[in-house]
Amino acid sequence: MNELNGNRSLTTRYRSGSDTLMAKHKLIDYSVDGGIALVTLNDPPANTYSYEMMQQLDARILEARSDESVQVIVLIGAGEKFFCAGANIAMLSEVTPEFKYYFCLHANETMCRLEQTPKLVIAAINGHCVGGGLEVAMAADLRVARRGAGKMGLPEVSLGVLPGTGGTQRLARMVGKSKAIELMAAGELFDFEKGEALGLVNRIIDATNGAEFMNQALEYARQFTTPNKASRAVGRIKRAVQTGAEIPFESALALERELQQQLFQSEDAREGLDAYVNKRKPEFTGK
């Protein structure tokens, strides 16, 4: 009974004290420059996420979504050893099963917000990306990784559980059902080259250190921003694919038409068409 009451008090602390903890412990670093919002998971050494970190990540996603100056969101882990090692096991061992359920529910909601935000999201994998860390990365639209910096995979089976932040569903959609079951049931960890072969990694970057990798990852992200790209069109391409893949084909075509109609009314569409007709390079503004 005392143990149960102790768990309840810990759970209450995590719930009711969340605002205070968010103010005291900054677990997400956030900055915007040149149309790119850089979101850094910052809880060394492994950047594991707690309820508090997920709340802060959720808040920054909403901030980037509403900020008209942000065209691309880049996620990265602090340091050079880990992108993210997943959920904080010490935190999970202290709370009740009910709290764990709501923790997973909120994490799922946060990842879905990231996935449905009509701005391109790039995960810059600068170190080990395992468990919930890979689940976060899979909620991004594109993934770039630093060659030789670590392993990736979903080893939750070794803890007697399954990947509970969208991992079973997103991995199956990315690599196919049979391969996803094999990878998760075996709890296999693999290098980024295999991740690239499986379609989990879009590009592997050669970099001598973490700072160089981050610079190259940001340079990769800039190709999707104005004036070179119509960022509004990039965002609507994302929405068409992310949402369209989960609904019937005819409904997805209707969604595509609606998004196209929005773009036809944009300044960038007029600029792109005029530049094509007049044989000049377009200068997009994201409007």
Do the Cβ atoms of 282 and 228 come closer than 8 Å? no
Give Dmax over CA atoms of the chain in angstroms.
Answer: 78
Contacts of 110 (CB under 8 A, 6+ apart): 54, 57, 58, 61
| pLDDT for residue 4 is more than 50 | no
**Tokens read off for 236:** 């609507």
Sheet with 128-130: list strands edge to edge: 82-84, 128-130, 151-153, 189-191
User: pLDDT tens across 239-286, in order?
Assistant: 999 999 999 999 999 999 999 999 999 999 999 999 999 999 999 999
Each residue of 89-137: pLDDT tens digit?
888 888 898 999 999 999 999 999 999 999 999 999 999 999 999 999 9
Residues noted as catalytic = 135, 156
What is the share, in percent, of the chain residues with pLDDT greater than 70? Answer: 92
pLDDT digits (tens, 9 = 90+) for 12-40: 444 444 444 444 589 999 999 999 999 99
- pTM across the whole model: 0.90
**Residue 139's pLDDT band (cuts 50, 70, 90):** very high
